[in-house]
Amino acid sequence: MDQQDLGTDIEKVLVAEAQIKHRLTELAADIDRDYAGEDLLIVGVLKGAVMVMADLARALHSPVRMDWMAVSSYGSGTKSSGVVRILKDLDTDLKDQHVLIVEDIIDSGLTLSWLLANLKSRGAASVEICTMLRKPEAAKVEIDVRYVGFEVPNEFVVGYGLDYAEKYRNVPFVATLAPHVYS
């Protein structure tokens, strides 16, 4: 898929496909170096992290294990409540494991903050975070994120796993949508 396929839906491309690919190679090299000689479990947070998990995993030079979680905000429906419910848990026992959580985006940081504490409490040897995108202006909580692809402004973005009403996840770049899409 490319921008032409989307007609007038795209307002502005914030991160191009080639930039994502290049940055992933850099992040993978850092991760390979930092975990050299260790067994690593990468954990993708559904659904947004599917693209970055698939591409990052293939850019790594070591045979990592991969597992998945699905989480949702509890109750109110506002995902920034910080209270998270597990919809699908890991299949892997984390005891003494080196864990790298992989995300598409950190917005308020509340989901990751909760997830970090949750996975650490399971006895992992280490838990770190890799995110393709981060919105520094939207942060409501400070989290130590080891690997960040790109910082983006505090705007609604889609593509590379990120959706609007479940669409646009398969757009291979990160973009803002034209106002008519929302109306």
Q: Which of 73, 76, 82 is nearest to 139 (CA)?
A: 82
Closest contact distance (angstroms) between CB of 121 and ligand PRP is 18
Closest contact distance (angstroms) between CB of 67 and ligand PRP is 16
Per CB under 6 A, the list member of 20, 45, 51, 102 interacting with ligand PRP is: 45
Choice among 2, 107, 144, 163 that is catalytic: 107
Say if residues 140 and 112 touch (Cβ distance below 8 Å). Answer: no
Q: Which of 161, 97, 157, 171 is nearest to 127 (CA)?
A: 97
Closest contact distance (angstroms) between CB of 46 and ligand PRP is 6
50 to 69, contacts with ligand PRP by CB under 6 A? none
- Which CB, 23 or 47, lies closer to ligand PRP? 47
Per CB under 6 A, the list member of 10, 105, 129, 174 interacting with ligand PRP is: 105
List, edge to edge, every strand of the sheet that includes 98-106: 84-88, 65-73, 40-46, 98-106, 126-134, 147-151
Per CB under 6 A, the list member of 51, 104, 119, 171 interacting with ligand PRP is: 104
Annotated catalytic, 107? yes
Backbone angles phi, psi at 175, to 5 degrees: -150, 165
Pairing of strands 147-151, 126-134: parallel
Backbone angles phi, psi at 23, to 5 degrees: -65, -35
Per CB under 6 A, the list member of 42, 43, 56, 111 interacting with ligand PRP is: 111
Residues that bind ligand PRP (CB under 6 A): 45-48, 79-80, 103-112, 163
Catalytic residues: 107
